[in-house]
């Protein structure tokens, strides 16, 4: 467990993120850890050199709501989560369609541990961004 950590759910995530924005926090990044049976998604925010973290426990088939409508800077790392872990992220401000870090022919969700419900391959987008 990290210091200054608050557990959130998919229902409370966006409100908590909006509250951080309102309080003047800077978006730092998002970390995803594959625990085998679920994902730990940790959102890191900074204010005055102190990190504040929101931890979301996500089921392996659940969708993750994007925080990019609140912090636009999150859009790239959320596309990375989609690429590397095969997590479906909804309402992305810019959706690269699973082709942000990976290209056609790349392994599907290479950082995702094997499970009973493998990630769906990204739809071919011939390089175009939706």
Partner 1 sequence: MSKRTIIPFGPQHPVLPEPIQLRLVMEEERVVEALPAIGYIHRGLEKLVEKKDFNQCVFLAERVCGICSFLHSVTYSQGIEEMMSVAVPDRAKFLRLIWGEIHRVHSHLLWLGLLADSFGFENVFMHAWRCREKVLDLMEKTAGHRVMLGTCCVGGVRRDITDEGLAEVLRVVDELQKEFDEFVPVVLNDYSIKQRTIGVGKLTKEQAAELGAVGPVARASGIARDFRETGYAAYGQVGFKIVTATSGDCYARIQVRCGEMYECLEMIRRAVKALPAGAINVAVKGNPSGEVVSRVEQPRGEVVYYLKGNGTKNLERMRIRTPTFANLAPLLAMLPGCELADVPVIVLSIDPCISCTER
Contact window for partner 1 (CB under 8 A) among 8-16, 45-53, 58-66, 118-126: 45-53
List 55's β-bridge partners, or say none: 7, 42
Q: Which is nearer to partner 1, 18 or 101 (CB)?
A: 101
Exactly one of 14, 18, 42, 108 binds partner 1 (CB under 8 A); that residue is: 42
Radius of gyration of the chain, Cα coordinates, nearest whole angstrom? 15
**DSSP conformation letters of 15-73:** HHHHHHHHTTPEEEEEEEEE-SSEEEEEEEEEETTEEEEEEEEEETT--EE--TTT-GG
Exactly one of 41, 64, 67, 102 binds partner 1 (CB under 8 A); that residue is: 102
Exactly one of 8, 20, 27, 66 binds partner 1 (CB under 8 A); that residue is: 27
CA proximity to 91, closest of 110, 61, 67: 67
Interatomic CA distance for residues 50 and 103, integer angstroms: 36
Site residues (CB under 8 A) for partner 1, limited to 58-87: 71-73, 75-77
Would you count residue 100 as binding partner 1 (CB under 8 A)? yes
Q: Which parts of this chain interact with partner 1 (CB under 8 A)?
A: 1-2, 26-29, 31-34, 42, 44, 49, 51, 53, 71-73, 75-77, 94, 96, 99-103, 110-111, 127, 129
């Amino acid at each position: 467990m990290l210091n200054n950590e608050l557990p959130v759910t998919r229902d409370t995530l966006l409100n908590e993120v909006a509250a951080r924005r309102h309080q003047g926090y800077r978006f730092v990044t998002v970390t995803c850890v594959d625990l085998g049976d679920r994902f730990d998604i940790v959102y890191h925010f900074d204010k005055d050199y102190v990190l504040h973290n929101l931890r979301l426990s996500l089921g392996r088939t659940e969708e993750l709501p994007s925080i990019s409508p609140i912090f636009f800077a999150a859009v790239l790392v959320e596309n990375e989560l989609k690429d590397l872990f095969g997590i479906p992220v909804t309402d992305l401000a810019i959706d690269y369609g699973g082709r942000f870090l990976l290209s056609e022919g790349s392994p599907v969700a290479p950082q995702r541990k094997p499970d009973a419900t493998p990630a769906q391959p990204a739809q071919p987008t011939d390089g175009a961004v939706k």
